[in-house]
Amino acid sequence: MSHHLLEKPSLWIVKYAPLIRKGGWVLDLACGNGRHAIRLAEQGYQVDAIDRDAEVVSGMVGMDNINVSIADLEAGDWPQSEQKYDGIIVSRYLYRPMLSTLASLLNPGGVLIYETFMTGNERYGKPSNPDFLLLPNELFDVYSPLLNIVAFEQGEQQTPRPAVMQRICATKN
């Protein structure tokens, strides 16, 4: 898979990624084909790209600065190590039992950049199952006791396609 065929990285993630320590370790959770992992690796970050679909991540295998792992997060396959991260990126993925775990995986000064769909998105298509849609303020409510909130937003967006999203950027003391 060539890099130019990838969907563009999320503007939210691009905006806040510079807060991550230069050259630091970044986790791209449920990374898909690597639109964020590849961009961060090219900027000199060391990226652990994790997804359950070996075929989807295959284009990143062997790329500089990227460690690809296949794991079904929802089956408890991960985390397998005590690795801590300077940054954690999550885009378009929700598995609620893992939300608070992410804060514990950050190094002091680490940055969590998370965005996914929320209630209301069902009128635009998938995901429409409430299990995969955040409730209003859910990311804020989960992370405000654990991390320092840098930015938070939620609501409708029109680009790259109409959706209802929730986004947070937070740092660990």
Tokens, residue 155: 């609501």
Distance CA 34, CA 110 (A): 21
- Tens of pLDDT, residue by residue over 69-127, are 999 988 887 767 789 999 999 999 999 999 999 999 999 999 999 999 999 999 999 99
Q: Does the structure show a pLDDT above 50 at 4?
A: no
Q: Which domains does the chain have, with CATH numbers?
A: 3-171 (3.40.50.150)
Q: What is the pLDDT of residue 82?
A: 84
Distance CA 105, CA 51 (A): 17
Q: Does the structure show a pLDDT above 90 at 161?
A: no
